[in-house]
Amino acid sequence: MKEIATFAAGCFWHVQEIFDNINGVISSRVGYTGGNDECDYDSSEKKGHAEAVEVIFDSEKVSYGDLLKVFWKEHDPTSLDKQGGDVGRRYRSAIFYHSDNQKKAIEKSLAAMQKNIVTEVSKAGKFYEAEEEHQKYNEKHGKVC
């Protein structure tokens, strides 16, 4: 069964590459979400958006819980508005859930984590697809982040 998951964990180039390599992930796209108004790469920070990856996955091959485990492992959820050398609100840690079942899985996952997690959890809103040059960036240009 096809489902959508949306994660923000710093530079979306790296995050997309990680999720694309998971068996059961059908496709992904990078973009901006969690803020106000339509935006592009240059305006995402001032409009409050996070760089995010929208993942389409087959829940019969990979569970949402397994995707959450990858999300927690592949970035620092205790770092506020910063991942590696990337600093700013658009690089924040956030999960945007698409269903009540996803929200419950996030809550269960968070309960098992340490207390100083700064990851934001909110209902998925409008996802603004990033410009084509940002899609599959590491695949096109070699690993950048």
**Secondary structure letter of residue 132 according to DSSP:** G
CA dist., res. 121 & res. 94, Å (int) = 6
Q: Tokens representing 84? A: 């590696």
Active-site residue, 145 included = no
Which is the catalytic residue, given 5, 11, 39, 106?
11
Backbone angles phi, psi at 8, to 5 degrees: -120, 125
Q: Which helix (H) or strand (E) holds 67?
A: helix 64-73
**Residue 6 in contact with residue 93, Cβ under 8 Å?**
no
Q: Nearest CA to 44 among 54, 34, 53?
A: 34
Q: Give the length of the chain.
A: 145
HSE at residue 69, side-chain half, CA atoms within 13 A, is 6
What amino acid positions are annotated as catalytic residues?
11
